[in-house]
Structure 1
C-alpha cells in the first residue's frame, strides 16, 4: 500500500533508540525524510546508519527536547515538518506518597510541556499547508493507571486532553492528532523492568522477562517494528479521517471497552 507520504518531512523526537527509532525507521522506508533526535551523538549516529542502511533519508539533531533550548534547536533544524512524532523517556516508577516536587517538575517538563510546546510550534505551518500528522507516544498508563506510574499517567493524560481539544480545531485543515499508547514492547525499557524484578526477587533475566510477558494477553512482547509501522499508517493519506484517538498497542491486555 502506498501511504502517500513519500517526500514528506518528519521530526521524530527522542528517536535514537526504542519506539522513537522504530517510528523514524518505518517512516523513512515510506520515503519520508526523517529528522531524528537524541541527547547522545554516538547513539544518534548509530541510529542514522541503521536507517540509511534500510534506504532511508535521515538528518540527526542532537538536542534535549525537554528543554527550551533543545526544542529551539529542533525547530531550527526542521522548521516546517509535515509530521511530528512526540516522544520522550518516561518517569521512573514511584508511588504517589514517595513522589516529590522534583519528580513532578521533571515529568511535567519532559512528558507534558515538551510535546505541548512542540505541537504549538509546528501547528500553524501544517494548517497553512493543509497537511499535518501529529503523533504523541504516550503510555497504556493513560487509560489504565498503575499506582507506581501515577506521575507518568497524570502528565501524559494532560497531553491526551490537550490533543483531543486541539484536534477538533485543526482536522478540517487535514491536520490530525493521535496518541499511541504502548505497553510491553521489547525495547530497553523492558530490560530496565526486568532488571528491577531481578533486583527484588533474585530471578534470572529469563525468569524476569517471563514474569513480564505473563502480564500480556498475547503472550509475547510487542516488536518495535509493529509499533513503527502503525505510526507510519497513522501518518498516511489513508488515515486522514482518524483524529483525536488513543490507539492502544498492548497485545489485547487492556480490559476496558473504551
Structure 2
C-alpha cells in the first residue's frame, strides 16, 4: 500500500532503538526523509546506517536527550519544515509514588508531557500553513490501564492526552492530525528489563516469567517494534487525514473494553 508520504520530512524523537526506531524504519520505508534521535551516539549511528542501507533514505542524526532545549533546536535545525512529528521519550523508572520527590515529579511531567507540547508548538503552525501535518505521540496503555509503580508516567501521559484532545480539533481543518499510540507489552529492552526483574522477584526463570506475561495477553505474544512502526506510518499517511484526536491501542487485546 502506497502511504502517499514519499518525500515528506519526518522527525522521530528517541528513535535509535525500540518503538521509536520501528517508527523511523517504517517512515523511511514509505519514502520519508527521517531525523533519527537518541542519547547514544553509537545507537543513533547504527540505526541511521541501517535505514540508509535498507531503504536508501535520507537520514539526519541528532544526538541527545529530547528534553534538552538545545536538542530540540537541533532537531528543528535538521528539519526546519517537518511534515511529520513522532513524539517519543522514555518514561520515569518504576517507583512507589510515596518515594517521588517534587523534583522527580516535575522531571517526569517535563519528559512525558511538556516536551511533546513544546515540539508541537514549534511545528504545528508551519504544518497548517503548508496544508499537511501528522503528529503522533507514543504514550502508553497505562493511560487507560494503570500499572503499579508507573503512576508518574501514567499521569503525565494522560495529561498530554487530555491537553491534545482539544488542540487536535483546532487544526484538523488544515489537514493536520494529532493522534496517540498506546503500546501494551511490546518486545523492547524496557520490557525485557521488567521481565528480568519479575523473574528475580518471583524466583522464576526469565523464560517462565516471559511466558507468564504472554499468557495474560489474548494474542499470546508480545508486540514488535516493526508492527508498531507500521501502525504509526499509517497514521502519518495521506490516507489518515480523517483520523484525529484518537488513541490507538496496540496491546494484543490486553485491555478489556467494548468501547
> Does the alignment reach a TM-score above 0.5?
yes
Match of 1:133, SS state, is: strand
Between the two proteins, the alignment pairs up a number of residues equal to 258
Tell me the residue number matched to 1:145.
Answer: 146
Q: Give, in whole Å, the separation in 1 of the partners of 2:154 and 2:22.
A: 23
Cα deviation for residue 17 of structure 1 reads 0.2
Match of 1:54, SS state, is: helix
Cα deviation for residue 108 of structure 1 reads 1.1
Gaps of 5+ in 2: none
Tell me the residue number matched to 2:72.
Answer: 71
Cα deviation for residue 211 of structure 1 reads 2.2
Tell me the C-alpha RMSD between the 2 structures. Answer: 1.1
Q: Give, in whole Å, the separation in 1 of the partners of 2:238 and 2:252.
A: 26
Cα deviation for residue 196 of structure 1 reads 1.0
TM-score, with normalisation over the residues of structure 2?
0.96
Gaps of 5+ in 1: none
Tell me the residue number matched to 2:41.
Answer: 41
Q: Quick one: structure 1 residues 256 and 95, their matched pair in 2 at CA, closer, same or farther if it must change by over 3 Å?
A: farther
Cα deviation for residue 94 of structure 1 reads 1.7
Cα deviation for residue 50 of structure 1 reads 1.5
Tell me the residue number matched to 1:53.
Answer: 53
Tell me the residue number matched to 1:83.
Answer: 84
Mean alpha-carbon deviation: is it higher for 147-156 or for 94-103? 94-103
Tell me the residue number matched to 1:92.
Answer: 93
2:23 and 2:232 in contact (8 A); partners too: yes
Tell me the residue number matched to 2:209.
Answer: 208
Residue 28 (str. 1) matches residue 16 (str. 2): no
Tell me the residue number matched to 1:231.
Answer: 232
Q: Give, in whole Å, the separation in 2 of the partners of 1:176 and 1:100.
A: 36
Q: Give, in whole Å, the separation in 1 of the partners of 2:257 and 2:94.
A: 23
Cα deviation for residue 99 of structure 1 reads 2.1
Cα deviation for residue 224 of structure 1 reads 1.1
